[in-house]
Amino acid sequence: MSPFALFVLWIVGRVAVQQQWQAQDQSNTRRSQAVLSLIMLGRYVLWRGTEAISVRHVTEALTHLQRQLKKIHAG
């Protein structure tokens, strides 16, 4: 899979977490803790195609990524 495709799946997965859509795809035994990677979660969300992802959602996901990268570079 191309790096760009992985990046898009990560963004969609991050949006899913922010919007609390991940519970639909988690196993029945572990709803309180994340068990899916953001990339797998992004694949499930896109495959279903039922959730609407707005520009604001994507912007929030990119802001989260930016904060995480700053932490890595600062630490």
* Burial class for 63, CB neighbours closer than 10 Å (0-12, 13-18, 19+): exposed
Question: What is the mean predicted confidence (pLDDT) over 32-57?
Answer: 87
Give the model's pLDDT for residue 32. Answer: 63
pLDDT at 24: 72
Residue range 54-66: mean pLDDT, rounded = 93
pLDDT digits (tens, 9 = 90+) for 23-41: 776 666 555 666 788 999 9
CA-nearest of 17, 73, 69, 21 to 49 is 21
